[in-house]
């Protein structure tokens, strides 16, 4: 009996991480050959890469326009491979601008589609829900409020839980982390998470560094740890901004940095969920280009920007987005947390409730079981 072929498409760092874990579990459960779009983690999980996601991953409207030729080239390669191999199933992971266009072609080829890490149509571009209902056989969502939204729209959906619940654990205590990086565990530690893409660093890191300077002026005992995503260059980061001597740069130790921190300044996205799972009080920040911001203001239809507040259904963490994201405002919000143990305790209680809402462990295994059943 020949192997069942599966196409998997993941174009961004967080989605690629989940896709790699899903591919590993699927290959252990079923006799499948997996090919598609992804990065190094998917390659290591045994996925045959038709294209590398680094060529298409962007954030913001104006940034996306510059990469349109590369994205179009990747789309054509994937579509051609799908037509040639006729996979039994296609798994689309997040990255909706690209993946929904790919879904049209796959559907025309008669290929069944499951969407894992579903498009956030509840936040913006709700008109896409009809397209998803037409093209996608099943949606596997990772946030609890997504399931009723999709179900009410007539889309077959299952909440499998969030994959990060199993993954987000610190390997070292605060004291061990501090000793390793020459920090004083008795003094405040603040983690900086500017994002996992170069474009996010360009927009988010400079004001973060200015906020560091302001916080140091207010309290020269404050210590800072910049947790850099593994796929980013440490040399490039240190050379791209006015560096603050008080900042320690770590790579591949994001969970340890968050677990050790009294507070964190976190770029909106997956990192806010990671901080919530570790119970780290945070200030959420984000900035895109002015052109992207102008478009997004017209399209986004949610009461909050950060995923933590959306899951909680109320303002649990402060959000400083676009024009509100200034060094002064960031320093002010962090100081409130550092100067009030009661505020930190209260935020930790709310973050614990957010963790509960993300479901029990085993999200990847549940998704793999559903997908294997579809085969």
* Strand ranges of the sheet holding 282-286, from the earlier edge strand across to the other edge: 247-251, 223-228, 189-193, 263-267, 282-286, 319-321
Selected from 3.40.50.620, 3.40.50.2000, 3.40.50.300, 3.60.15.10, the CATH number assigned to the domain covering 4-162+360-374 reads: 3.40.50.2000
Decide which of 366 and 12 is more confident. 366
Helix (H) or strand (E) holding 93: strand 89-93
Lowest average pLDDT, out of 13-17, 61-65, 194-198, goes to: 61-65
Query: Predicted confidence band at 315 (pLDDT cuts at 50, 70, 90)?
Result: very high
Query: Predicted confidence band at 61 (pLDDT cuts at 50, 70, 90)?
Result: very low
Averaged confidence pLDDT in the chain: 90
Q: What is the mean pLDDT of residues 174-199?
A: 93
What pLDDT does residue 67 have? 62
Q: What percent of the chain has pLDDT over 70?
A: 89
Does the pLDDT value for residue 112 go beyond 50? yes
Query: Predicted confidence band at 302 (pLDDT cuts at 50, 70, 90)?
Result: low
Nearest to 75 by CA among 110, 104, 43, 108: 104
Q: What is the mean pLDDT of residues 216-240?
A: 80
Backbone torsions φ then ψ of 129, nearest 5 degrees: -60, -35
Query: Predicted confidence band at 60 (pLDDT cuts at 50, 70, 90)?
Result: very low
Query: Predicted confidence band at 7 (pLDDT cuts at 50, 70, 90)?
Result: very high
Query: Predicted confidence band at 289 (pLDDT cuts at 50, 70, 90)?
Result: low
What pLDDT does residue 299 have? 56
Query: Predicted confidence band at 62 (pLDDT cuts at 50, 70, 90)?
Result: very low
Buried b (16+ CB within 10 A) or exposed e, 129-157: bebbeebbebbbbbbeebbebbeebebeb
What pLDDT does residue 54 have? 78
Domains 4-162+360-374 and 167-357 share a fold: yes
Does the pLDDT value for residue 37 go beyond 50? yes
Does the pLDDT value for residue 252 go beyond 60? yes
Query: Predicted confidence band at 132 (pLDDT cuts at 50, 70, 90)?
Result: very high
Q: What is the mean pLDDT of residues 361-365?
A: 95
Does the pLDDT value for residue 375 go beyond 70? yes
Where do runs of H (alpha helix) occur along the chain?
Answer: 13-29, 40-44, 61-66, 68-85, 96-108, 128-135, 146-152, 164-167, 174-180, 198-218, 234-238, 254-260, 270-277, 290-299, 307-312, 327-339, 341-357, 363-374
Domain residue spans in the chain?
4-162+360-374, 167-357
Query: Predicted confidence band at 287 (pLDDT cuts at 50, 70, 90)?
Result: confident
What pLDDT does residue 199 have? 78
Lowest average pLDDT, out of 43-57, 309-323, 329-343, goes to: 43-57
Q: What percent of the chain has pLDDT over 90?
A: 72
What pLDDT does residue 92 have? 97
Query: Predicted confidence band at 56 (pLDDT cuts at 50, 70, 90)?
Result: confident
Does the pLDDT value for residue 106 go beyond 70? yes
Q: How far is CA 122 from CA 69, 100, 138, in A?
A: 29, 16, 17
What pTM was computed for the model?
0.85
Any residues with CB less than 8 A from the CB of 221 and at least 6 apart, and which? Answer: 184, 187, 188
Asked if 274 and 268 count as a contact pair (C-beta separation under 8 A), the reply is: no
What pLDDT does residue 239 have? 58
Selected from 3.40.50.1370, 3.40.50.2000, 3.40.50.11610, 3.20.20.70, the CATH number assigned to the domain covering 167-357 reads: 3.40.50.2000
Q: Which two tokens stand for residue 151?
A: 């179900």
What pLDDT does residue 233 have? 63
Decide which of 245 and 97 is more confident. 97
Crossing angle of helices 327-339 and 341-357, in 10° steps, is 100
What pLDDT does residue 182 have? 95
Decide which of 97 and 273 is more confident. 273
């Amino acid at each position: 009996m020949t192997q069942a072929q599966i196409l998997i498409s993941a174009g961004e760092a967080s989605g690629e991480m989940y896709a790699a874990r899903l591919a590993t579990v699927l290959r252990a459960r079923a006799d499948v050959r997996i090919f598609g779009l992804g990065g190094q983690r998917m390659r290591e999980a045994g996925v045959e890469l038709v294209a590398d996601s680094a060529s298409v991953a962007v954030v913001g409207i104006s940034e996306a326009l510059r990469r349109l030729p590369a994205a179009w080239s990747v789309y054509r390669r994937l579509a051609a491979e799908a037509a040639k191999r006729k996979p039994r199933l296609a798994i689309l992971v997040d990255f909706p601008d690209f993946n929904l266009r790919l879904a049209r072609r796959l559907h025309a080829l008669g290929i069944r589609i499951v969407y894992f890490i579903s498009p956030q149509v509840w936040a913006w571009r709700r008109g896409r829900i009809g397209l998803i209902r037409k093209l996608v056989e099943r949606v596997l969502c990772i946030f609890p409020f997504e399931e009723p939204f999709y179900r009410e729209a007539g889309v077959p959906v299952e909440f499998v839980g969030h994959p990060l619940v199993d993954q987000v654990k610190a390997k070292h205590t605060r004291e061990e982390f501090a000793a390793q990086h020459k920090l004083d565990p008795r003094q405040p530690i603040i983690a900086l998470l500017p994002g996992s893409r170069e474009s996010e660093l360009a927009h988010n890191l400079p004001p973060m560094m200015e906020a560091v300077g302001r916080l140091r002026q207010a309290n020269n005992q404050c210590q800072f740890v910049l947790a850099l995503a593994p796929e980013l260059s440490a040399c490039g980061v240190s050379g791209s901004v006015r560096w603050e001597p008080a900042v320690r740069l770590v790579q591949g130790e994001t969970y340890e940095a968050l677990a050790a921190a009294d507070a964190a300044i976190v770029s909106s996205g997956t990192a806010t969920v990671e901080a919530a799972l570790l119970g780290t009080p945070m200030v959420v920040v984000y900035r895109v280009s002015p052109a992207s911001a102008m478009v997004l203001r017209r399209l986004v239809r949610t009461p909050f920007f950060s995923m933590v507040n959306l899951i909680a259904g109320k303002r649990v963490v402060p959000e400083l987005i676009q024009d509100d994201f200034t060094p002064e405002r960031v320093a002010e919000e962090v100081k409130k947390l550092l100067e009030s143990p009661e505020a930190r305790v209260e935020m930790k209680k709310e973050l614990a409730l957010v963790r509960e809402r993300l479901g029990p462990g085993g999200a990847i295994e549940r998704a793999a079981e559903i997908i294997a059943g579809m085969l």
